[in-house]
Amino acid sequence: MNTRLAVRALAGIALVIGTVVAAACAPQKPKGADLGASQSIKSLMEKRGLSEADVEAALKTYVPGGKYDDYMIFASGGQSGQVLVMGVPSMRLLKVIGVFTPEPWQGYGYGGDSTAVIDGAGQSGHKITWADVHHPNLSESKGDYDGQYLFVNDKANARVAVVDLADFNTKQIVVNPLVSSDHGGAFVTPDTDYVIETSQYPAPLGREYVPIDQYKDKYRGLAMFWKFDRKKGRIDPAQSWAIELPPYTQDLADAGKLGSDGWAFINSFNTEMAVGGTLEGKPPIESGASQNDMDYLHVINWKAAEKLVAEGKTTTIKGFRVLSMQTAAENGVLTLIGEPKSPHGCDVTPDGKDVIVGGKLDTHATVYNFDKIKALIDAKKYDGKDVYGIPILSFKESIRGQVEIGLGPLHTVFDDKGMAYTSVFLDSAVAKWDYKNLKLIEKLPVHYNIGHIMAAEGDTVSPDGHYVVAMNKMSIDRFTGVGPLYPQNFQLIDTDGDKMRILSDTPIGIGEPHYSQMIKIDKLKPLKMYPVGTNIYQGGIDPNATVAGKERIDRSKPGVVDVYMTAIRSHFTPDRIEVEEGDVVNLHITSLEQAEDQTHGFTINMYNVDLSLEPGKHENVTFKADLPGVYPMYCTEFCSALHLEMAGYVLVRPKGTPAPGASGSASGSASAAPSAAPNASAPKK
Amino acid sequence: MSHPSEVHQGNGGDRAGGGRKVRHLEVVPATKEGRPLGRMLATRWGILGATIAALGMFLYSIRLPWWHFWLFAPQYPRKGLELVVSLTGVSGDVAEVNEINHYIGMKHLEDAAVFERQIAFGAIVALGVIVLVLTLAEGKRFAALSATIAAGLPLGFVADSWWWLRRFGHELDAHAAVKIKAFTPQMFGGGKIGQFETFATPETGFYLAAGAVLILAIASYVRSRVCASCAKAATCGAVCTSLFVGPGAGLAGPGSTPPKET
C-alpha cells in the first residue's frame, strides 16, 4: 500500500543522487575535499588528545541514533538488585530491569500487581528488597540462547528470578527455603529443563539453628534443580528437587552440553570446612579455607538424579524433595575430583567435552575432560572417598591438561575459533588461549581486578566471537572522581584482530555486576505494547480491565470502593474518586493506549502508589484510605502536551461525613465555567 | 424501415482507421455465411459481458480500500499513522487518530458516514440491478444512461467523503483542549495540520470502480454505435426492443428478422 509513497521517495532519492552526481562531476572543484575532512578529524584528534587507535575504537563502537547495536548484554546489577540491559558495541545502557528491588520507573513494587512478586520473595516472613544479584543466564534451546527468558540469582538470600524477555519484566521470584545463600546460579540445562542453583555458605538445610561445632555433621551444601515450565514461563517449585551436598563451600556451576548433557559441574572451596572463630583465636575463614592444596570439583549426573527423585528416593524438607548425598554417592549421581587450590570458575566448553576451572590462588586453568571423567565413573575407578563417603576420582586421570595463564585465573568464556578467554584477577588481565591445544596465546591488561568475563554467546554451543567484555571490579583512575565509591568498569574488547584490543570503558554506577551474558539482537522479539487490558503477571486480559465508556465506581460492598478506571491521553476516567476514611480502595486501571511508547504513569499523593502504565497494560492497586484529606493523583510520565493536566483527586472524607453527591463524586463548583464533560474520551455515540 | 443495405457503410474507411478504435459496427442482415451475424453476436454479448464484469468490479471493490490517508509526525517515525477507508468502514490507526483528534474536539472516525457504510452493499447491488436493466433495455436516446448512473458511485464516494471531512473539520467540540480554526482535511495530496504532514490518495477500490465506469462508458459508446446503425434507429424510443429484449431480439440480433425473404 505504500508503493506509491515508495515510488515518490525513490524518485526523490534519484533526483537527489542525480544532483549530487552532477555536482560531483562539475570540474571546478579541486581534489581536496577528502583532505579537508581528514584534516578536520586530525585537528579534532589533536584538540581532544586522541590517538589513531582511539579514533578507530570510536569508529568501531559508535552507533548512531536510529541504528541498533548488534548485541544485547544482560548484566547483573549487583547490590542494586536489578539487571542491566546494555547494547554492544555502543555499551549504552538501554534499561534497568527491576528484579529483586522495587524499581519506581517501571512501577515495580509500588502498589501495583508487581508488588506481589516482590512481597512474595521474602525469606522466612521477612520482606527483602535488595539482592546481591550474581549470574544472569538466558534460556537455551539445544544449548543455544533462544531469547525468551532470563534467570538470575540472589546470592544473599538464595533466590532465583525469572525475567520474561517478551516485555523485559520480572515475572517470578522463587525462594529457596533450604539454604541461606547461593552462588552457582542461575545456570540452565541445554533445553532449560532446569535452572540450577547451588548454595554457597553451608548451613543446616531448612535454615534451622544448629551450633557451629556441628558443622561437619549438620551443615550442608545443596544443588537445587528448579524445574522450568516454559509454557507457563515460570519455575514450578512443586516439580523442583535438590541434591544434598557436603559442607564444602560450593561455588560456581555449569551444566553439561551436547556429549555431556545430563551432567552438571560445581566447584567448591573450603574443603577444610573452616568455620572461622577469630575472636576465639582461631584462624579466619580466609586462611582456614586455604590450607588444602586441592579442593573438590563436584560432578553431578542430574539425569540419574532425576530418575532417583521420580522413584521417590528422597526426603522432603520444607516441601522440597531432597536426594541425600549418600543416595547420590551410592548411585553415581555425585562424584568429586580434586581441583587446584581455591578454585573459581567452572565453565563447560562449547563442544561440551571439557570443563575449565580456574583458581584464585593458582596460576593454571585446569581442563577436565568429560570423557575421561565418564570412563572413570563408569569403571567405578576411584582414588578414594571423602569423609562423607563420596567417591573421588583421580585428578591426573580426569584432566586433559593445565595451562599456565597467570595469577588468579577465574572465569572462562569462548569464541567461535576455538579460543578461550579467561579472566585473570591478580594479573588484572584477560588471557586468550587455545583450549584444544592448551596453549596460551596472548594476555591483555584490563583495568582493574577483572572478575567475570563474558563473550558474545560465549557460553553456548555456538559462540559468536567478535567481542569479549571484561567486568572489572575496580576502576581507580579510569573515570573522573565521583566520591570514594567508585564505579565498576566494563571494558569492551575487540577479539576479531590478531591482537585483542580494548575498545571502550563503561562505568557501572549502580552496583557490582558479577556475571553477564551477551545475545545477538535478532534472537530477541520484545513486545512493543500489550493488548488493551493485559495483566502482565497473570497473562491475558485482566478480569477487571475496563474499556472506554464502561468506567465506573462500584460501592456495592460496604467499606470497599472498586474503581474501574482508564488512562489515555490526557486524562484518567474517572478523575475524581470520593471515598470515606477507612475504605479499602481498589483501583483497576487500564491503559487504553495502543500507540508505541505512549506510556502513562500513575501516582497518588502520600499512599506510596506508583505505577507504569505501558500501552494496553492493566494494573490493580489496593490501598486503605486511612487518613482524611485531598490527595492529587496524576500521570508521572510526560505523556503528551497536556500531561500536567492528566490529573485528578482522591478525596477521603472523614468517617461518618455524608457524601457530597449521590454518585459519590463532588459536584462541580457553581462559579466555574461549564467545563468539558469529564469523560471527554468516552465515545460520543 | 430502412433497407438493410443502407447501413452497410464505412466498412473500408473505418477499418483503415486502425484497430485501436472501437470498431464501427456493421449491422447487416444475417447471411447464410453468418459472418455479420457472428459480429453482431459478439457485440451484443460483448456489451453484456463488459457490463457484468463492471458490476462485478463494483461488487469486489467493497472488499478493497478506496482511499488512503497518511499522517506523519515526529512521534510516529516508523510509518506515520494510516487510515484506510473502504465503502464499509475505516481501518488502520483509527484509535490513535481518534485519540489525537480528541484534542481538537473532532468526532470519532467511526461516527462518520454511518448511514452510507450501512447501505453500501445494498446500494451497490441496487446500482448493479439498475445498470443491468438499463443495459438490457435502454434505447438510442439513453445509451449513456447506465454509465452515467454508474459513475455516481466513485464520484458520490469522493463527494460524500469530502463532505464528511469538511463536516468533521468544522463541527469541532467548543470545549476541546486545543482550539483551532475550522478546516477541511485534505482529500487529495499533501496538507498540514499541527505537527502532522498529511497525504491522501485514492486506493485500489476506487481505481477499480473508476475502471468499471470506464468499461461501462466504452460499452455505452459501442452501444451508441449499434443504435446509430440499427435498422430501427429511426423509430427507436426509450426502450430498445432489438438488442437484448423485445420481440425482435432473437438470437440473430437486430435486423436479422425482417429480411427473411432474402
Q: Which chain A residue has its CA at the smallest distance from B109's CA?
A: A683
A414 plus A547 within the same structural domain: no
Does A497 lie in the same domain as A573? no
> Could you say which of B65, B102, B199 has the minimum Cβ distance to residue A680?
B102
How far A595 CA sits from the closest chain B CA (Å)? Answer: 6
- For chain A, give the mean pLDDT: 91
In the prediction, which pLDDT does A315 show? 97
Residue that has been written with the C-alpha cell 548411585 in this structure: A331
Are A118 and A266 in the same domain? yes
Residues A253 and A304 occupy one common structural domain: yes
* pLDDT of A379 strictly over 50: yes
The pLDDT assigned to A351 comes to: 97
- Maximum alpha-carbon separation in chain A: 95
pLDDT tens profile A144-202: 999 999 999 999 999 999 999 999 999 999 999 999 999 998 999 999 999 999 999 99
Gap from B96 CA to chain A (nearest CA, Å) = 6
Identify whether A681 is part of a domain: no
Query: Number of C-alpha atoms within 13 angstroms, CB side, residue B159?
Result: 6
CATH at A153? 2.130.10.10
CB-based contact B176 A676, cutoff 8 Å:
yes
The pLDDT, as a whole number, for residue B33 is 44
Is residue A677 pLDDT above 50, yes or no? no
Task: Count A/B contacts: CB-CB distance under 8 Å.
Answer: 45
Which chain B residue has the Cα nearest residue A532?
B95
Q: Is residue A684 part of a domain?
A: no
Instruction: Inspect the interface and report whether the beta carbons of B103 and A642 lie closer than 8 Å.
Output: yes
The count of structural domains within chain A is: 3
For A606, other C-beta atoms within 10 Å of its C-beta total 14
Question: pLDDT tens, A214-267?
Answer: 999 999 999 999 999 999 999 999 999 999 999 999 999 999 999 999 999 999
In a domain, A682, yes or no: no
Distance CA A165, CA A498 (A): 35
Identify whether residues A545 and A514 lie together within a single domain.
Answer: no
End of a domain among A489, A523, A557?
Answer: A523
DSSP B239: B
Q: Provide the residue range defining the domain that includes A266.
A: 71-523
Q: Say if A298 falls within a structural domain.
A: yes
Helix (H, G, I), strand (E, B) or coil at A225: strand
The three three-digit cell numbers of residue B93, written as one number? 490507526
Q: How many CA atoms lie within 13 A of B222 on its CB side?
A: 23
Residue contact A683–B99, C-beta within 8 A = no
- Quick one: A22 and A82 in the same domain? no
Q: What structural domains does chain B harbor?
A: 44-228 (1.20.140)
Q: In this structure, is the dihedral angle defined by the CA atoms of residues A543, A544, A548 and A553, taken in order, positive or negative?
A: positive
Cα–Cα distances (Å) from A113 to A106, A118, A167, A175, A613, in that order, read 12, 10, 15, 19, 12
Q: Is B65 part of the contact surface with chain A (CB cutoff 8 Å)?
A: yes
Same domain (yes/no): A601, A508 = no
Is residue A680 in some structural domain? no
Residues facing residue A133 across a β-bridge: A154
Residue A354 contacts residue A258 (beta carbons within 8 Å): no
Sign of the alpha-carbon dihedral angle for A186, A205, A322, A252: positive
Q: Is residue A438 part of a domain?
A: yes
Residue A246 lies in a domain: yes
Together in a domain, A56 and A81: no
Among the three residues A473, A504, A523, which one is the final residue of a domain in this structure?
Answer: A523
- Which H/E stretch holds residue A554? strand A552-554
Structure confidence at residue A7 as a pLDDT band (50, 70, 90): low
- Of the partner residues B76, B102, B176, the one whose CB lies closest to the CB of residue A681: B102
3-state secondary structure of A22: helix
Q: Which of B82, B96, B173 sits opposite A595 (nearest CB)?
A: B96
Gap between the Cα atoms of A83 and B22, Å rounded: 75
Alpha-carbon dihedral sign for residues A325, A329, A331, A333: positive
- The confidence score (pLDDT) of residue A3 equals 54
**Chain B residues near residue A677 by CB distance under 8 angstroms:** 175
pLDDT tens, residue by residue, A271-300: 999 999 999 999 999 988 888 889 999 999
What is the per-residue pLDDT across B12-29, written as a single tens digit (0 to 9) for each? 434 443 334 444 444 544
Q: What is the CATH number of the domain that holds A560?
A: 2.60.40.420
A245: left (phi over 0), alpha (psi -120 to 50) or beta: beta
B207 touches chain A (CB under 8 A): no
**Phi and psi, residue A339, nearest 5°:** -145, 150
Q: Is the pLDDT of residue A521 over 80?
A: yes
Is residue A35 in a domain? yes
Is A383 found in the same domain as A458?
Answer: yes
Query: What angle, rounded to 10 degrees, do the helices at B114-137 and B35-61 form?
Result: 170
DSSP labels for B74-124?
TT-TTT-EEEEE-SS-EEESHHHHHHHHHHHTPPPGGGTTHHHHHHHHHHH
> Which of A113-127, A459-473, A529-543, A670-684 is predicted with the least confidence, judged by mean pLDDT?
A670-684
Within 13 Å and on the Cβ side, how many CA atoms surround B251?
Answer: 2
Q: Of A61, A79, A110, which one is at a domain's C-terminal end?
A: A61
Residues B108, A683: C-beta atoms closer than 8 Å: yes
> Are A16 and A122 found together in one domain?
no
Same domain for A663 and A618, yes or no, is: yes
Q: Rounded to whole angstroms, how far apart are CA atoms B133 and A651?
A: 70
The reply to whether A497 and A534 lie within a common domain is no
Q: Each residue of B57-116: pLDDT tens digit?
A: 999 999 999 999 999 999 999 889 999 999 999 999 999 999 999 999 999 999 999 999
Q: Which residues in chain A touch residue B177, judged by CB atoms under 8 angstroms apart?
A: 570, 642, 645, 676
Give the whole-angstrom CA distance, residue A276 versus residue A250: 17
How far, in Å, CA of A113 to CA of A108, rounded?
8
